[in-house]
Amino acid sequence: MIVAVDGPTASGKGTIAKAIAAHFGLPHLDSGLLYRAVARQVVLDGGDPGDPADAGKAAAFPEELLADPILRSESVGQIASVVSAHPEVRALLLRRQQDFARQPGGAVLDGRDIGTVIAPDADVKIFVTASVEARAHRRWLEMRERGEDVTLDRIEGELRSRDARDQGRAISPLRAADDAVTLDTTALGRDEAIAQAIRIVEEKMR
Ligand code: CDP
Protein backbone atom coordinates (compact mmCIF):
# COMPACT_ATOMS: atom_id res chain seq x y z
CA MET A 1 0.00 0.00 0.00
CA ILE A 2 1.35 3.44 -0.96
CA VAL A 3 0.03 6.40 1.03
CA ALA A 4 0.70 9.93 -0.27
CA VAL A 5 0.32 12.80 2.19
CA ASP A 6 0.68 16.30 0.73
CA GLY A 7 0.00 19.79 2.01
CA PRO A 8 1.43 23.20 2.83
CA THR A 9 3.88 24.04 5.60
CA ALA A 10 2.72 23.43 9.19
CA SER A 11 -0.53 21.80 8.05
CA GLY A 12 0.28 18.73 10.14
CA LYS A 13 1.16 16.51 7.18
CA GLY A 14 4.45 15.31 8.70
CA THR A 15 2.88 14.31 12.01
CA ILE A 16 0.01 12.62 10.19
CA ALA A 17 2.28 10.75 7.78
CA LYS A 18 4.47 9.50 10.63
CA ALA A 19 1.43 8.31 12.58
CA ILE A 20 -0.05 6.50 9.55
CA ALA A 21 3.30 4.78 9.00
CA ALA A 22 3.50 3.65 12.64
CA HIS A 23 -0.13 2.49 12.68
CA PHE A 24 0.14 0.39 9.51
CA GLY A 25 3.76 -0.68 10.02
CA LEU A 26 5.04 1.05 6.88
CA PRO A 27 8.31 2.91 6.24
CA HIS A 28 7.99 6.70 6.02
CA LEU A 29 9.84 9.26 3.91
CA ASP A 30 9.72 12.98 4.71
CA SER A 31 10.51 14.24 1.20
CA GLY A 32 10.83 17.83 2.43
CA LEU A 33 14.00 16.81 4.24
CA LEU A 34 15.65 16.05 0.88
CA TYR A 35 14.94 19.57 -0.40
CA ARG A 36 16.09 20.96 2.93
CA ALA A 37 19.38 19.06 2.57
CA VAL A 38 19.88 20.53 -0.92
CA ALA A 39 19.21 24.00 0.51
CA ARG A 40 21.70 23.50 3.33
CA GLN A 41 24.33 22.12 0.95
CA VAL A 42 24.05 25.16 -1.36
CA VAL A 43 24.73 27.40 1.63
CA LEU A 44 27.69 25.25 2.76
CA ASP A 45 29.09 25.41 -0.79
CA GLY A 46 28.73 29.20 -0.83
CA GLY A 47 26.42 28.86 -3.85
CA ASP A 48 23.34 30.79 -4.93
CA PRO A 49 20.03 28.95 -4.21
CA GLY A 50 18.43 30.80 -7.13
CA ASP A 51 21.01 29.43 -9.56
CA PRO A 52 19.93 26.09 -11.09
CA ALA A 53 23.54 24.88 -11.57
CA ASP A 54 24.53 25.63 -7.95
CA ALA A 55 21.33 24.01 -6.64
CA GLY A 56 21.75 20.99 -8.94
CA LYS A 57 25.29 20.43 -7.69
CA ALA A 58 24.03 20.52 -4.10
CA ALA A 59 21.59 17.69 -4.82
CA ALA A 60 24.59 15.38 -4.40
CA PHE A 61 24.68 16.23 -0.66
CA PRO A 62 26.28 13.62 1.67
CA GLU A 63 23.80 11.28 3.43
CA GLU A 64 24.97 12.36 6.92
CA LEU A 65 23.56 15.82 6.23
CA LEU A 66 20.01 14.42 6.57
CA ALA A 67 20.60 13.96 10.32
CA ASP A 68 21.62 17.59 10.92
CA PRO A 69 18.99 19.29 13.15
CA ILE A 70 19.62 22.63 11.42
CA LEU A 71 17.65 21.27 8.43
CA ARG A 72 14.47 21.77 10.50
CA SER A 73 14.93 25.53 10.85
CA GLU A 74 12.60 27.96 9.09
CA SER A 75 15.53 29.68 7.36
CA VAL A 76 16.53 26.39 5.70
CA GLY A 77 12.83 25.82 4.86
CA GLN A 78 12.71 29.14 3.00
CA ILE A 79 15.82 28.29 0.96
CA ALA A 80 14.38 24.80 0.32
CA SER A 81 11.37 26.39 -1.36
CA VAL A 82 13.77 28.30 -3.66
CA VAL A 83 15.92 25.32 -4.68
CA SER A 84 12.87 23.05 -5.05
CA ALA A 85 11.54 25.24 -7.89
CA HIS A 86 14.44 24.19 -10.18
CA PRO A 87 13.43 21.33 -12.50
CA GLU A 88 16.98 19.89 -12.35
CA VAL A 89 16.80 19.58 -8.56
CA ARG A 90 13.40 17.87 -8.72
CA ALA A 91 14.64 15.49 -11.43
CA LEU A 92 17.69 14.54 -9.34
CA LEU A 93 15.52 13.68 -6.31
CA LEU A 94 12.75 11.91 -8.26
CA ARG A 95 14.24 8.43 -8.54
CA ARG A 96 15.09 8.18 -4.87
CA GLN A 97 11.51 9.05 -3.86
CA GLN A 98 9.96 6.72 -6.44
CA ASP A 99 12.18 3.81 -5.34
CA PHE A 100 11.11 4.46 -1.76
CA ALA A 101 7.43 4.51 -2.72
CA ARG A 102 7.66 1.28 -4.73
CA GLN A 103 9.47 -0.86 -2.19
CA PRO A 104 7.79 -4.19 -1.48
CA GLY A 105 5.05 -3.84 1.13
CA GLY A 106 4.52 -0.17 0.42
CA ALA A 107 5.37 3.12 2.08
CA VAL A 108 4.08 6.45 3.34
CA LEU A 109 5.56 9.62 1.82
CA ASP A 110 4.80 13.22 2.67
CA GLY A 111 5.56 16.35 0.69
CA ARG A 112 4.03 18.65 -1.91
CA ASP A 113 3.82 16.52 -5.06
CA ILE A 114 3.67 12.92 -3.83
CA GLY A 115 0.10 12.29 -5.02
CA THR A 116 0.51 14.27 -8.25
CA VAL A 117 4.05 13.44 -9.49
CA ILE A 118 6.02 10.98 -7.34
CA ALA A 119 3.30 8.36 -6.82
CA PRO A 120 0.25 9.24 -8.96
CA ASP A 121 -0.76 5.58 -8.54
CA ALA A 122 -0.79 5.76 -4.71
CA ASP A 123 -3.56 3.71 -3.08
CA VAL A 124 -4.46 6.53 -0.71
CA LYS A 125 -3.89 10.27 -1.17
CA ILE A 126 -4.52 12.70 1.63
CA PHE A 127 -4.22 16.47 1.20
CA VAL A 128 -3.72 18.01 4.61
CA THR A 129 -4.56 21.67 4.94
CA ALA A 130 -5.37 24.32 7.58
CA SER A 131 -5.92 28.09 7.67
CA VAL A 132 -2.84 30.31 7.42
CA GLU A 133 -3.53 31.64 10.92
CA ALA A 134 -3.73 28.17 12.47
CA ARG A 135 -0.56 27.05 10.70
CA ALA A 136 1.36 30.19 11.68
CA HIS A 137 0.29 29.75 15.29
CA ARG A 138 1.46 26.11 15.34
CA ARG A 139 4.81 26.95 13.81
CA TRP A 140 5.24 29.83 16.27
CA LEU A 141 4.57 27.54 19.26
CA GLU A 142 7.02 24.95 17.90
CA MET A 143 9.74 27.56 17.47
CA ARG A 144 9.15 29.05 20.90
CA GLU A 145 9.49 25.59 22.40
CA ARG A 146 12.87 25.29 20.70
CA GLY A 147 13.83 28.58 22.33
CA GLU A 148 13.73 30.64 19.12
CA ASP A 149 12.74 34.26 19.59
CA VAL A 150 10.26 35.05 16.78
CA THR A 151 7.04 37.02 16.44
CA LEU A 152 3.81 35.51 15.19
CA ASP A 153 3.65 38.21 12.50
CA ARG A 154 7.01 37.30 11.08
CA ILE A 155 6.15 33.59 11.02
CA GLU A 156 2.87 34.31 9.24
CA GLY A 157 4.70 36.43 6.65
CA GLU A 158 7.29 33.72 6.00
CA LEU A 159 4.61 31.09 5.75
CA ARG A 160 2.64 33.12 3.19
CA SER A 161 5.73 33.69 1.05
CA ARG A 162 6.62 29.96 1.14
CA ASP A 163 3.00 29.03 0.24
CA ALA A 164 3.09 31.47 -2.69
CA ARG A 165 6.39 30.06 -4.00
CA ASP A 166 5.30 26.43 -3.58
CA GLN A 167 1.90 26.99 -5.23
CA GLY A 168 3.09 29.33 -7.96
CA ARG A 169 6.07 27.45 -9.38
CA ALA A 170 5.90 26.04 -12.87
CA ILE A 171 7.05 22.54 -11.99
CA SER A 172 5.18 20.25 -9.56
CA PRO A 173 3.35 23.05 -7.74
CA LEU A 174 1.68 22.31 -4.43
CA ARG A 175 -1.86 21.19 -5.19
CA ALA A 176 -4.24 18.42 -4.21
CA ALA A 177 -4.41 15.49 -6.63
CA ASP A 178 -7.87 15.14 -8.20
CA ASP A 179 -8.38 11.87 -6.32
CA ALA A 180 -7.06 13.10 -2.97
CA VAL A 181 -9.17 13.29 0.18
CA THR A 182 -8.78 16.71 1.83
CA LEU A 183 -8.27 16.77 5.58
CA ASP A 184 -8.65 20.25 7.09
CA THR A 185 -6.90 20.29 10.46
CA THR A 186 -7.70 23.94 11.35
CA ALA A 187 -10.03 22.98 14.20
CA LEU A 188 -8.51 19.60 15.03
CA GLY A 189 -6.08 18.68 17.77
CA ARG A 190 -3.14 16.42 16.96
CA ASP A 191 -4.80 13.15 18.08
CA GLU A 192 -8.06 13.93 16.32
CA ALA A 193 -6.26 14.75 13.06
CA ILE A 194 -4.34 11.47 13.25
CA ALA A 195 -7.51 9.47 14.00
CA GLN A 196 -9.29 11.01 11.00
CA ALA A 197 -6.33 10.30 8.71
CA ILE A 198 -6.23 6.66 9.80
CA ARG A 199 -9.96 6.42 9.15
CA ILE A 200 -9.44 7.79 5.62
CA VAL A 201 -6.81 5.12 4.92
CA GLU A 202 -9.02 2.34 6.34
CA GLU A 203 -12.02 3.45 4.29
CA LYS A 204 -9.96 3.59 1.08
CA MET A 205 -8.50 0.14 1.66
CA ARG A 206 -11.84 -1.48 2.46
O1 CDP B 1 7.83 20.95 7.13
P2 CDP B 1 7.39 21.98 6.15
O3 CDP B 1 6.06 21.68 5.58
O4 CDP B 1 7.54 23.38 6.63
O5 CDP B 1 8.42 21.92 4.93
P6 CDP B 1 9.00 20.64 4.18
O7 CDP B 1 7.92 19.66 3.89
O8 CDP B 1 10.19 20.17 4.92
O9 CDP B 1 9.45 21.27 2.78
C10 CDP B 1 10.37 22.33 2.65
C11 CDP B 1 10.26 22.89 1.25
O12 CDP B 1 10.68 21.89 0.32
C13 CDP B 1 8.84 23.25 0.82
O14 CDP B 1 8.49 24.59 1.13
C15 CDP B 1 8.85 22.98 -0.69
O16 CDP B 1 9.30 24.09 -1.41
C17 CDP B 1 9.88 21.89 -0.86
N18 CDP B 1 9.28 20.57 -1.10
C19 CDP B 1 8.88 20.27 -2.39
O20 CDP B 1 8.99 21.11 -3.27
N21 CDP B 1 8.38 19.04 -2.68
C22 CDP B 1 8.23 18.13 -1.74
N23 CDP B 1 7.76 16.92 -2.07
C24 CDP B 1 8.59 18.41 -0.41
C25 CDP B 1 9.11 19.66 -0.10
pLDDT of amino acid 143: 87
pLDDT of amino acid 34: 98
pLDDT of amino acid 147: 87
Element (H, E) at 108: strand 107-111
Q: In terms of Cα–Cα distance, which of 142, 133, 140, 127 is closest to 174?
A: 127
What is d(CA 184, CA 104) in angstroms, rounded to the nearest whole number? 31
DSSP class of residue 9? T
pLDDT of amino acid 149: 87
What is the atom index within ligand 1 of the atom nearest the CA of 109? 23
Residue nearest to atom 17 of ligand 1 (CA): 81
DSSP class of residue 117? I
Pocket flag, ligand 1, residue 129 (CB < 6 Å): no
Q: Distance from CA of residue 187 to its chain's centroid?
A: 21
What is d(CA 205, CA 203) in angstroms, rounded to the nearest whole number? 5
pLDDT of amino acid 146: 85
pLDDT of amino acid 74: 85
What is d(CA 86, CA 170) in angstroms, rounded to the nearest whole number? 9
- DSSP string across 18-82: HHHHHHHT--EEEHHHHHHHHHHHHHHHT--TT-HHHHHHHTT--GGGGG-GGGGSHHHHHHHHH
Q: What burial letters (b/e) apply to 13-43, b meaning 16+ CB within 10 Å?
A: bbbbbbbbbeebebebbbbbbbbbbbbbbbe
Residue nearest to atom 13 of ligand 1 (CA): 81
Pocket flag, ligand 1, residue 162 (CB < 6 Å): yes
pLDDT of amino acid 122: 98
Residue nearest to atom 6 of ligand 1 (CA): 32
Total-model pTM = 0.95
pLDDT of amino acid 95: 95
Q: Tell me the pLDDT of the chain (206 aa) as tens digits.
A: 999 999 999 999 999 999 999 999 999 999 999 999 999 999 999 999 999 999 999 999 999 999 999 999 888 999 999 999 999 999 999 999 999 999 999 999 999 999 999 999 999 999 999 999 999 999 999 889 988 889 999 999 999 999 999 999 999 999 999 999 999 999 999 999 999 999 999 999 98
Pocket flag, ligand 1, residue 35 (CB < 6 Å): yes
Pocket flag, ligand 1, residue 4 (CB < 6 Å): no
